[in-house]
Amino acid sequence: MTESTISEKVFKCSNCGAPLNYTPETIACVCEYCGTVNWFSTGRFEIFILPTRTRDEVVNAFWSRMRSDPDMSRVYGDIELVEAQGFYVPILMGDVSAFVEWSGFRRVTEKRGKSFVTRTVTKKGSFNTSMRLAFTARREAAEYGLEELVSQAKSAKDPQPLAAVDWRNVGLQVLNAELLPEEAEDELKDMVEDELRESTRSSNGLDGFYYYSCEARVNSLWILLAPMWSLVYKYKGGMYRASVSGYNLQFLRVSEPVFLGQRILYILGSILSVAAGAFILALLPSFREWFPVLGFILVSAAGALLASKAVSDVREEKWK
């Protein structure tokens, strides 16, 4: 049955028979009349779920973090929690095997007497590997902290089959998946090829490839519903956000105000970086030596980053 045929069909609640607001991308639809959760997409993907903590547990974790944070604890009494909302994000998971063949080169610069000589070293190899990858099943995903949630999902233990969960005790909204299995497989293959290309280049110190081939095969593909909680809090007229994994109460991403002491540290760091860059530049006898040039670029970039932080009103902390 094609998706256009499916979209024209009227779906009814499995409990009361009322019409459901269905689209071809719908994973779950809650009946507006009786509250029953009706599941879709199970014919396209096998669906697993990570259990979520309760709203009270998430809120308690938020206040606990604010109390233990060296900066936020000093203004704890001025913080107001405005909103705490949970939802399930569909994450596509896949086990992929690949065979890679490659031939590449790297340039080696050597000092011979008073001059520098660059020669090209050629390397080649092949290998088999397998990987588990994860990415969001939504085409335009703007959820705060989603990238960190996807990274966590790859190592999540003991996800439960959908049938094992009593959804009446969960009650969170489920965001729709927007990719078909064929699209998901193509995305996985592209991800494997890109990751293995970069890891091969990095591990062998290559400057480029003469030839690179990656034959990838998707062995399994499923959806993991991962719980995310989005929190909004207020401090002195400013609004800030935090996202929490409902599975393990780990904070995925948090925005916080920039305090005066932090601004001063950022400014001092920026000044020191500029001074270090000027010192390195003064020592450069020749731009043929790329190590000092690289050092100058790095400290200059660090100085620019610290300067931007010094003038910003918000700083972010991310899960790693």
How many separate domains does the chain show? 3
Per-residue pLDDT of the chain in tens (320 residues, 90 and over written 9): 444 444 446 788 877 888 877 766 667 676 777 766 676 665 667 888 898 999 999 999 999 999 998 888 888 999 999 999 998 888 999 999 999 999 999 988 887 777 788 889 999 999 999 999 999 887 766 678 888 999 888 888 888 887 777 766 777 778 877 777 888 899 999 999 999 999 999 999 999 999 999 999 999 988 899 999 999 999 888 899 999 999 999 999 998 887 555 555 555 555 666 566 555 555 555 444 555 555 555 555 555 554 455 444 556 677 65
Same domain, 122 and 222: yes
- Rounded-to-integer distance, Cα 287 and Cα 190, Å: 38
DSSP H helical ranges for the chain: 3-8, 55-68, 146-153, 181-203, 260-283, 290-311
- Are 252 and 145 in contact by the 8 Å Cβ rule? The answer is yes
- Are 93 and 137 in contact by the 8 Å Cβ rule? The answer is no
pLDDT tens digits for range 105-157: 998 888 777 778 888 999 999 999 999 999 988 776 667 888 899 988 888 88
The Cβ of residue 303 has, within 10 Å, a number of other Cβ atoms equal to: 19
List C-alpha distances in Å: 196 to 97, 127, 131, 182: 11, 10, 10, 21
Same domain, 33 and 78: no
The angle that helices 260-283 and 290-311 make with each other, rounded to 10 degrees, is 160
**283 inside domain:** yes
pTM: 0.73
Same domain, 75 and 223: yes
First to last CA, the chain: 43
Domain residue limits at 303? 261-318
Same domain, 142 and 180: yes
**45 inside domain:** no
Same domain, 150 and 240: yes
**312 inside domain:** yes
Same domain, 150 and 34: no
Written as one string, the DSSP assignment of 141-169 is: ---TTHHHHHHHHTT---PEEGGG--GGG
Same domain, 74 and 33: no
